[in-house]
Each structure stands twice: as structure tokens, then as C-alpha cells.
């Protein structure tokens, strides 16, 4: 059965996930990641909302399986963690970021930044499809910017 995520508006998010920053859990990653802004630091677990944890684990296992091992995951830069839970407002706005609920994740932000469009972003289509199998929205596919960003919320 496919995941049915809420719409990206405050009342729907609170109804589904609860208040920002609440109901979080630790997800032990199936492969080590590196902090995108300090690649010397390994990340073996992340904090995310308990309602997305199992789905996100399947995504990461799917990425590992698709690439056939850690070395290939690293070559594709899908081990570069840009963040998950971060209680904050959206950039340039007053609404809460989906990261505030721990229901969004950023991967390889250096080569898939918020301002990059399809002609410059390097997010692999296979990874976008692995997230899509879990009904995660790719902001890049949806809006042609912010290719690093995947969220368990509908526009």
C-alpha cells in the first residue's frame, strides 16, 4: 500500500504529524553518510518523524541496492547528507519548513542547490524514482528547483 502523505499546509501537517519538532525518532542508516558541509564527519543515524522512518529506511536501502554498494553510492554523491529535522521557517517566508516536522531530507546540496534547475542539477533520476516509489515528492521534479529536497508532503 502506498504512503499517503498530507498536503503541504500547516493544518494538514499538524493534523497528520503533530506539532513541529515532535514525534521524532532515530533512523539508523543502512550505509554511512557524510555531512555535506564537513565531509570528514560520518552520519550513521538521522532524526526524522516516526511516521516517515520506515519509508525513509526503504528509500536508503533502495539507493544502496540500486548502486550495488557503498563505493558506487559515494561515486553518485548519494551519501552526502544535507539535513532532515530542522525546526525553522521556509527560506524567504513565514510558513514552517517541512524539515520542521522531520518529514523532508536534502541530499548532495552542493550539486543540487535550491537555485539550480534541471540543466545544472545532478540528482540522479534513479534516486528520484526510488523516493517516488514511497510517494516522496521531489521538489526538483515538481518545481524545477531545489533538486536536493525530498518531502513526505504533497504540494
| Residue ranges with strand state E in 4-86 | 24-35, 38-49, 80-83
Helix (H) or strand (E) holding 95: none
Instruction: Provide the pLDDT for residue 27.
Output: 98
At 125 the three-state DSSP class reads: helix
Residue 3 resides in a domain = no
Q: CB of 133 within 8 A of CB of 121?
A: no
Residue 141 resides in a domain = yes
Instruction: Provide the pLDDT for residue 2.
Output: 79
Instruction: Provide the pLDDT for residue 1.
Output: 60
Q: How many structural domains is the chain composed of? A: 1
Residue 7 resides in a domain = no
Using alpha carbons, list the distances in angstroms from residue 28 to 14, 61, 93. Answer: 25, 11, 32
Residue 132 resides in a domain = yes
pLDDT tens digits in sequence order for the chain, 155 residues long: 679 999 999 999 999 999 999 999 999 999 999 999 999 999 999 999 999 999 999 999 999 999 999 999 999 999 999 999 999 988 888 899 999 999 999 999 999 988 999 999 999 999 999 999 999 999 999 999 999 999 999 99
Q: pTM to 2 decimals?
A: 0.95
CATH number at residue 122: 3.30.1380
Residue 15 resides in a domain = no
Q: Let me know if 34 is exposed, middle or buried by CB neighbors in 10 A (0-12, 13-18, 19+).
A: middle
Residue 126 resides in a domain = yes
87 Cβ partners below 8 Å, 6+ apart? Answer: 20, 21, 96, 99, 100
- Structural domain span for residue 116: 24-86+96-151
Amino acid at each position: 500500500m502506498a504512503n499517503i502523505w498530507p498536503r503541504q499546509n500547516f493544518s494538514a501537517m499538524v493534523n497528520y504529524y503533530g506539532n513541529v519538532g515532535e514525534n521524532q525518532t532515530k533512523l539508523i542508516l543502512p550505509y554511512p553518510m557524510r555531512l555535506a558541509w564537513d565531509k570528514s564527519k560520518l552520519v550513521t543515524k538521522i532524526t526524522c518523524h516516526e511516521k516517515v522512518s520506515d519509508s525513509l529506511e526503504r528509500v536508503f536501502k533502495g539507493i544502496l541496492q540500486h548502486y550495488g554498494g557503498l563505493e558506487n553510492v559515494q561515486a553518485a554523491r548519494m551519501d552526502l547528507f544535507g539535513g532532515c529535522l530542522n525546526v525553522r521557517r521556509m527560506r524567504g517566508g513565514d510558513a514552517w519548513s517541512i524539515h520542521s516536522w522531520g518529514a523532508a531530507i536534502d541530499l548532495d546540496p552542493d550539486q543540487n542547490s535550491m537555485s539550480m534547475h534541471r540543466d545544472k542539477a545532478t540528482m540522479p533520476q534513479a534516486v528520484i524514482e526510488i523516493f517516488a516509489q514511497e510517494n516522496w515528492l521531489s521538489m526538483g521534479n515538481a518545481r524545477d528547483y531545489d533538486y536536493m529536497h525530498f518531502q513526505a508532503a504533497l504540494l
